[in-house]
Chains A and B, each alone.
Chain A
Amino acid sequence: KAGVTQTPRYLIKTRGQQVTLSCSPISGHRSVSWYQQTPGQGLQFLFEYFSETQRNKGNFPGRFSGRQFSNSRSEMNVSTLELGDSALYLCASSLGGGGMNTEAFFGQGTRLTVV
């Protein structure tokens, strides 16, 4: 069974540009969450999508957005990049149906560097 796939693995962008990151969840998983990991702030929740709807959102500015497609694949977009957006962005997939099996399975992440 394939795991969570994130593309690209590495990205270098210039301040002011925008970027789109992609995440393909485990087959059959309908929930996709995104996290930002930095040395200073640790792992922080960005948002979670289920069946193409955003169900939860973290405390990030509106420059961070996402969407989910009908095949459960998800993208996140960051506009007007700032140096502080440099981070490892992790995507996690879950079954999404609630109950006891709510564990998240993470991808390897996309390392974004803003210069």
Chain B
Amino acid sequence: GNSVTQMEGPVTLSEEAFLTINCTYTATGYPSLFWYVQYPGEGLQLLLKATKADDKGSNKGFEATYRKETTSFHLEKGSVQVSDSAVYFCALEEASGTYKYIFGTGTRLKVLA
């Protein structure tokens, strides 16, 4: 079945460091891919998405490119801030129009001032 694999956390970085959180997926077809972020005590917020191969999603300085050849959707940010500390989830929509998301286990990011 479909699945999403994320790098284990926690990831601890200093402010202004470069961030990469790896995400790979297994799926039939070409699912839409998403990154969500969860701040303490909150629900999930959509960070960015990509709906087809080679698409690049971007938002708030975060980017991720849909790589079909490596089945990956790695999240990157050039310079992290303390306010980026949160848990990041990679997800795919199991099949177009199902609204059924498969989530990775989440990666906790801690940014130190």
Seen from chain A, the residues whose Cβ lies within 8 Å of a Cβ on chain B are 4, 6, 31, 33, 35, 42-43, 45, 48, 50, 55-56, 58, 90, 92, 94, 96, 98-100, 102-109
Residue pair B98, A48 in contact (C-beta under 8 Å): yes
A-B contact pairs, 6 of them (CB 8 A): A45-B100, A48-B98, A48-B99, A92-B101, A102-B93, A108-B43
Size of B's binding interface in residues, CB under 8 A: 24
Main SS at interface, chain A: strand
Contact bitstring B31-48, A, C-beta under 8 A = 1, else 0: 010101000011111100
Select which of B36, B43, B96, B99 is within 8 A of A56 by beta carbon: B99
Knowing A42-B106, A43-B89, A45-B101, the reply to whether A103 touches B46 (Cβ < 8 A) is yes
Could you tell me the distance in whole angstroms from the C-beta of B52 to the nearest C-beta in chain A? 9
Residues of chain A with a CB closer than 8 A to B71's CB: none
